[in-house]
Amino acid sequence: MAARSTRRTAPRARATHPRPPQPDAPPRVTPSDLPVRVRYDAGDLPRDLARRTPAAGEAPYTRGIHASMYRSRLWTMRQYAGFGTAAQTNERFRYLLAQGQTGLSVAFDLPTQMGYDSDHALARGEVGKVGVAISCLADMEALLDQLPLDRVTTSMTINATAPLLLGFYVAVADARGTPRSTLGGTVQNDVLKEYIARGTYIYPPQASLRLITDLFQFTADEVPQWNSISVSGYHMREAGATAVQELAFTLADGLTYLEAARDRGLDLTRIARRISFFFNAHNHLFEEVAKFRAARKLWAELLVERFGLHDAEARKLRFHTQTAGSMLTAQQPLNNVVRVAVQGLAAVLGGTQSLHTNSYDEALGLPSQESALLALRTQQVLAHESGVTDAVDPLAGSYWVESMTADLEARTRQVLAAIDAQGGMLEAIASGWVQSQIHQAAYQWQRDVESGARVVVGVNRFVDDAPLAAPPFSQDPAVERDRARFLADWRASRPAATVEQALAAVTRTARGTDSLLPPILAALTARATLGEVCDAMRDVFGVHRPGESVK
């Protein structure tokens, strides 16, 4: 007798086709606990697929946001880099561009992310360690030295201080005579996920939402080709979220930002056209492909359902992907080359617009130049040798992928309904519900690894006794000392009265309701430091402490 299927039927109609019996086999699930049948057939396809699935470039964009996808243009190969000083990072950028990278992606150190200058007491021991240190306009000038800002797009993974880093970038372009209208790139600017999973917030949530919408307005008016936010599920997945949670929480954050823009009175169509997303590419090839397809369909539908937006460009979910850092292992690190290739393949099969592939030695520390180059070459092999760019949505019509896409969509809508029942995403974060869901998923994953139920090659199976390799990069302690001397000279050489007036303007604007971007940009151009501008806003907004309400 055939074994009973362990598959849970998603709440949607199915096409009626006879299903052959399933052979006996132990039940299996994906990393996100989606049941996997032994075999899939036409009876597992969603009913709408049996009629007709809209082509790529047609709403709801399940198959891709462009009609010809990579046949016309490859995804942007945007390798994430940043360490030490601005000059060191600029050297890495120019090296990667010379090797065929097609976009820049900047990692900032923790003091920069938290709004402290490199010589602040709270910055000690962290300067330049997990990203580049940027404290003043001269740092951004050095970071962007010899880079063609009107021909290369730049992504900046920065949140609480996103208005300042964008301000530095625009100020450099202005000084060079590069029109703001030619600048292209993205600031992450997604503070909600910081309260959930990452922790690099500064101000209370309402102040943060104000700054986010100020940036929306500024980019729409002044830097129209700039993506004003990159709503990130990546960090929630790194914290342990499942694929369903990554989808639901990310889309819920995106809806919350659009609600804030609507409350501000901004043009939602204009704002939605410049929203981008940032997803994780995890290990399970087919689940990840289905996740990206479901994300596009859900966003296109939600914008109609929640905001009545029918504009085709506004409904297109454009996203950057990074391979899963949490899946890299310090044991047998060369195995990570294979993991990254599989994850990158999932992103491409899923239709990403931009991709970062991790370096194999990142579980040990900041990557070496050699490993960073191999990560870039991985993308280039996928693009030019694998054949996956030859056809649009190569896995379309796969019984399994189509079924899993529909399952992920249905399960994500269930989580979105649970969020709505709590009063929205801010309420769900404030109650700790979102965080607890991720914590439970992370705990279950770790239990499965420790029990051996989930195999991690080189960690709990196929292990060896080889010692862990040394970190590939070690920060020179002199960097922090040199930065302190440099900033002391910077402050001593500037017109103090002009800086004080500019900072006072930031404080006055923070107490009112006008956009903070113009006075922030003016203060940075007047040679105020990042930390000084953030302090001017801290004096008005205060700071958010762990455990405080995020409402």
In degrees rounded to 5, what are phi and psi of residue 417? -65, -40
Token readout for 260 is 């804030």
Label the pairing between strands 185-187 and 154-157.
Answer: parallel
Token readout for 332 is 């047998």
Averaged pLDDT, 37-65:
85
Condensed to tens digits (0 to 9), the pLDDT of residues 61-88 reads 999 999 999 999 999 999 888 999 999 9
83-87, 365-369, 532-536 — which is least confidently predicted? Answer: 365-369
Angle, vertex CA 118, rays to CA 112 and CA 120, nearest 5:
105
Condensed to tens digits (0 to 9), the pLDDT of residues 161-212 reads 999 999 999 999 999 999 999 999 999 999 999 999 999 999 999 999 999 9
Averaged pLDDT, 294-315:
98
Task: Label residue 387 by pLDDT band (50, 70, 90).
Answer: very high
pLDDT of residue 15: 43
Averaged pLDDT, 332-355:
98
**DSSP annotation string for 137-166:** HHHHHHHTTT--TTTS-EEEE-STTHHHHH
Cα separation, 106 vs 427, in Å, equals 32
pLDDT of residue 6: 37
Averaged pLDDT, 150-160:
96
Where is pLDDT greater, at 299 or 33?
299
Is the pLDDT at 216 greater than 60? The verdict is yes
Averaged pLDDT, 536-541:
98
Q: Is the dihedral of CA 123, 127, 131, 133 positive or negative?
A: positive
Condensed to tens digits (0 to 9), the pLDDT of residues 466-499 reads 888 888 767 788 999 999 999 999 999 999 999 9
User: Residue 11: exposed, middle, or buried by beta-carbon count in 10 A (0-12, 13-18, 19+)?
Assistant: exposed
Is the pLDDT at 2 greater than 90? The verdict is no
Tell me if 229 sits within 8 A of 190, measured CB to CB.
yes
SS3 state of residue 35: strand
Averaged pLDDT, 539-550:
86
CA distances from 184 to 61, 173, 187 (A): 24, 11, 10
Is the pLDDT at 436 greater than 90? The verdict is yes
CATH superfamily placement of domain 69-324+333-451: Methylmalonyl-CoA mutase (3.20.20.240)
Please give the DSSP secondary-structure letter assigned to residue 417.
Answer: H
Tell me if 69 sits within 8 A of 351, measured CB to CB.
yes
Among candidates 285, 289, 351, 286, which has minimal Cα distance to 317? Answer: 351
The DSSP bridge partners found for residue 51 are: none
pLDDT of residue 354: 97
Q: What percent of the chain has pLDDT over 90?
A: 85
Please give the DSSP secondary-structure letter assigned to residue 3.
Answer: P
pLDDT of residue 242: 98
Residues sharing a CB contact under 8 Å with residue 441, sequence separation 6 or more, in sequence order: 240, 241, 242, 245
Mean pLDDT score across all residues of the chain: 93
Task: Label residue 43 by pLDDT band (50, 70, 90).
Answer: confident
Task: Label residue 21 by pLDDT band (50, 70, 90).
Answer: low
pLDDT of residue 16: 45
Distance, C-alpha 528 to centroid of its chain: 29
Averaged pLDDT, 344-358:
98
Is the pLDDT at 97 greater than 50? The verdict is yes
Averaged pLDDT, 404-428:
97
CB atoms within 10 A of CB 291: 30
Is the pLDDT at 11 greater than 90? The verdict is no
Condensed to tens digits (0 to 9), the pLDDT of residues 252-283 reads 999 999 999 999 999 999 999 999 999 999 99
Token readout for 518 is 């113009």
Cα separation, 140 vs 138, in Å, equals 5
SS3 state of residue 337: helix
The DSSP bridge partners found for residue 76 are: 354
pLDDT of residue 51: 60
The DSSP bridge partners found for residue 398 are: none
Token readout for 326 is 């949490």
Label the pairing between strands 275-281 and 104-107.
Answer: unpaired
Q: Out of 1-10, 363-372, 436-445, give the one with best mean pLDDT.
A: 436-445
Averaged pLDDT, 43-49:
78
SS3 state of residue 87: helix
Cα separation, 337 vs 375, in Å, equals 8
pLDDT of residue 25: 61
pLDDT of residue 20: 54
Is the pLDDT at 13 greater than 50? The verdict is no
**DSSP annotation string for 237-259:** HHTT--HHHHHHHHHHHHHHHHH
